[in-house]
Amino acid sequence: MCAYLNTSRRRIESMDSEIKVIQGVAFGQVELLREAHEEGLDLDAVLTNSEGRTPMTEAILGGMGEPEAVRALIELGADPSRPDDRGCTPWLACISRADDRVVAEEMAEIREILEQAGASKAQQGVFDLWDRARRGDVDGVRAMLDAGQSPVSRELCPLGAAVGMGHAEVAALLLEHGAPPDGAAVEDHGTGCLMSAADKGRFDLVQLLVRHGADLDRTQPPDPDWTAARIARDAGHDEIADWLVEQGAGAVKGGIPPEAREGGPKAKYLSLYQSGVDAANYDLDTDAIVDRLMQWDDRFGIHLVDVRTDGSFTVQFDRLDEDLDAFAREVYAFCPDIVDQGFGEMTEAAEQFEETGRGLPDDMKQLLDGLDPDDEDFGLKVLGRWLRTHRALGLWWD
């Protein structure tokens, strides 16, 4: 036990001050916060790689929330009213989680700590307006706006809440009082209000937002084609997509064809369209890839798994032909990389195992046993063995 404690102490001492704070607020380890403070770390400074949070807002918003960490930070001199880089104060951070039953007890305790410390409640109005907007409380929203509450906020977006929940009358009220039609801090969050309305198929909200000046060509990073019109098309709301283009939105590129939507003959391959899988260097678009997979499905029965945004995916087969040589050649013609960059280079992989002093894995031994690496069909034969053993293929096109 003593050895363990000594090891733990050495590990803590080797941490830099910010890591101690991160650990301290994440797990309520007050002693780490005190050490970081003694080392001179500014407890009001924004933490690295924390989405702009300070130790205080991270202690509230991270995980379950850590009341002891909040109390310790205040005792050590952290400002209980300081907003973080996103404009969120500790008070707003706390009340924004108030209806989360999982952390209700922790938030109640943190709220009491903040009140005792005299934390600013200036953002209470921002939260109340957002809360009324998401609940569709037209009269409540109108009363707050008439009383002077601004609908413009970086921290929370009342308009986004209204659009997301489909409350058109509330959305109209907020826009009439100056709410930005694209939403709050869109650059931070990525998705604008128009995108949300288009995704939900709310033509009335789409038209309302466009009338108030929503950006038709705003895109969602990292895809430069991911506009409201593209989102509407992919969600099957063609009328909205066409209307947005008529209003001046850029032509919709790509998109999910009707036959790949729910109930369509290609719905099984929806994930490939969503991920934009293609093989442009082999003149294969998503449709061409799906057409080949549909042929395999008719012959063998297939399932797609692990579809990734880099264009790779795995095909699992229910059954395969006894003679796999011809099918291996078919696979190679369809996806040359599987041999040229994969099974055809298995000897190099085996040599690397040997060079490191590790024995070959059993499955690699079975794949290579008795095969001549100089055989021009070496890669195809390894592919055939793999198919026979695993009845699955990972496909990709570089």
C-alpha distances out from residue 386 to 18, 127, 317, 324, 368, Å: 49, 58, 12, 10, 10
Say if residues 133 and 162 touch (Cβ distance below 8 Å): yes
Domains of the chain: 2-116 (1.25.40.20), 150-259 (1.25.40.20), 279-395 (no CATH)
pLDDT tens digits along 22-71: 999 988 899 999 999 999 999 999 998 777 899 999 999 998 999 999 99
The predicted pLDDT at position 6 comes to 36
H or E element: which one contains 394? strand 392-395
pLDDT tens digits along 270-299: 889 878 788 988 999 999 999 999 999 999
pTM, entire model: 0.64
C-alpha distances out from residue 141 to 31, 97, 275, 389, Å: 45, 20, 40, 64
For residue 397 the two structure tokens come to: 């096109």
Residues of the chain with pLDDT under 70: 1-15, 185-190, 221-223, 253-255, 353, 356-359
